[in-house]
């Protein structure tokens, strides 16, 4: 872990149509409430095992593509998994999924990876449903509703506060 007096929350995301990026930025805004916390927001291709090792907690955010996490999030986990295995046991995490209708399978995939890393889930997966069901709607740029963005900010604030207090 990092300096016990100063914590780092790592937010790793991929976004295809903008919804996941809007949500993870809301999480980052919420987490910014803690002055003694560093929030690192990294796009999945830019994150790796050193980033995972250097953080005290994690939020993993992805769209659900074809009932799975996005390929770039899978790539992040593939590149980072063994470099962090048995070195981050017990650290807290949360997940955020943007989906057209369901999102639960992508959430299960992240949970399985987190189980292998022996992470502790601090909140149920935050799944935002865009209701995109046609090719055009699925591929279109998204605007996330204010109520969903507020849920992201609440997750970020709760995670940051708990991490800073040593609750997880």
What is the predicted pLDDT for the residue at 5?
A: 74
What is the predicted pLDDT for the residue at 3?
A: 57
Per-residue pLDDT of the chain (168 residues; tens, 9 = 90+): 445 679 999 999 999 999 999 999 999 999 999 999 999 999 999 999 999 999 999 999 999 999 999 999 999 999 999 999 999 999 999 999 999 989 999 999 999 999 999 999 999 999 999 999 999 998 999 999 999 999 999 999 999 999 999 999
How far apart CA 6 and CA 143 sit, in angstroms, is 34
């Amino acid at each position: 872990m990092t300096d016990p007096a100063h914590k780092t929350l790592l937010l790793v995301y991929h976004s295809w149509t903008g919804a996941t990026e809007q949500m993870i930025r809301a999480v980052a805004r919420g987490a910014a409430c803690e002055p003694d916390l560093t929030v690192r927001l990294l796009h999945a291709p830019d994150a790796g095992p050193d980033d995972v090792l250097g953080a005290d907690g994690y939020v993993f955010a992805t769209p659900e593509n074809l009932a799975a996490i996005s390929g770039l999030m899978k790539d992040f986990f593939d590149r980072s998994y063994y470099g962090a295995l048995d070195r981050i046991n017990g650290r807290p995490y949360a997940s955020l999924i943007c989906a057209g209708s369901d999102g639960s399978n992508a959430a299960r995939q992240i949970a399985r990876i987190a189980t292998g890393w022996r992470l502790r889930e601090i909140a149920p997966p935050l799944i935002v449903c865009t209701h995109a069901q046609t090719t055009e709607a699925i591929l279109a740029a998204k605007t996330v509703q204010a109520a969903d963005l507020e849920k992201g900010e609440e997750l970020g604030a709760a995670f940051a506060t708990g991490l800073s207090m040593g609750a997880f």
